[in-house]
Amino acid sequence: MSWMVTGGAGYIGSHVVRALADAGITPVILDDLSSGIEGFIPDGVAFVRASILEESAVTEALVEHGVTGVIHCAGYKYAGESVKYPVHTYRQNVEGTGVLLDAMAAAGVGNLVFSSSAGVYGTPPTEVVTESTPVGPESPYGESKLIAEWLIRDQVRATAMAGTALKATCLRYFNVVGSGYLDIYDASPHNLFPKVFTAIQAGRAPQVNGTDYATPDGTCVRDYVHVGDLALAHVAAAQRLEASEPVEEVYNLGSGAGTSVRQIVDAIVAATQTDLTPVEGPRRAGDPAMIVADGVLAARDLGWQMRHDVTSMVESAWAAHPKD
């Protein structure tokens, strides 16, 4: 059994690759290394350097490696930056998904796990989002993820009518943090943990924006999930599809409770052993007090659980973060 991981040299994808191998599933990586890191690729794992937009290369890789399913992690994942680069975001996330679906159809690959985003919910009407919460993305990134989900849904329906049924599920989640390996780290300049780590290394104090929200400690509450836990959920979804067991169209991966910004900052201060005192700043416009995802359905079907607390999330991320 062989599964391709698109974006498999990235922070999330590389964790998925190792989790597949640990589960006895042969991983194949497809990545153009535009943001992925070649050093994250384990020895002995098949690696195809190609863009998700190169249909012939994707199709050829699927056939050559006898792939039976795809975990689709490739894409442009920066919500804030997507506002500046909407065309690029749509090309990578929407067109790229369409190209992959065509390639899978051409190669006869019938299983797909899509790494989506809880950003499809935007600012929801409730603090805890479930799979039935109305979607309302507020950035080109969130919109592109939702459209990609629609493409997958429609392809599932179309192939079912044609008798060549695609089986698929989409996993939605918020903030991915931590590390499962000392040689894999979050290299994004836009994500919270590496930004704060880099600031502390430069002698700048971390800042807490807003301390007067209606939450237990007055700071915003968000869902943070450990990348290792996330990877296990992707593998569980792949195994379920491979076994032709029923799956939901989408699953949320979240804690249902969340972690406050104060808790995160305190844990970072402790892990980095900094003597810098966190700075309290004003609220940021548009920041709701709390948004977390309910993971009940994923717990039922995928064995989803939060295996790491905030301390281990931060400590594992700091241990892997480059110190030079």
* Residues designated as active site: 141
Q: What is the DSSP letter of 113?
A: E
Rounded to whole angstroms, the Cα distance separating 323 from 202 reads 11
Which residue type sits at 274? T
Which residue type sits at 155? Q
Q: What is the DSSP letter of 217?
A: T
| DSSP H or E stretch at residue 115 | strand 111-115
Taking alpha carbons only, the member of 316, 83, 71 closest to residue 179 is 316
Strands 259-260 vs 221-222: parallel, antiparallel or unpaired: antiparallel
The two structure tokens encoding residue 79 = 């919500």
The two structure tokens encoding residue 281 = 């700043």
Helix axes 192-201 and 261-272, enclosed angle (nearest 10): 40
For the chain, state the CA radius of gyration. 19
Rounded to whole angstroms, the Cα distance separating 29 from 57 reads 12
The two structure tokens encoding residue 261 = 């910004």
The two structure tokens encoding residue 122 = 């935007």
Rounded to whole angstroms, the Cα distance separating 101 from 156 reads 10
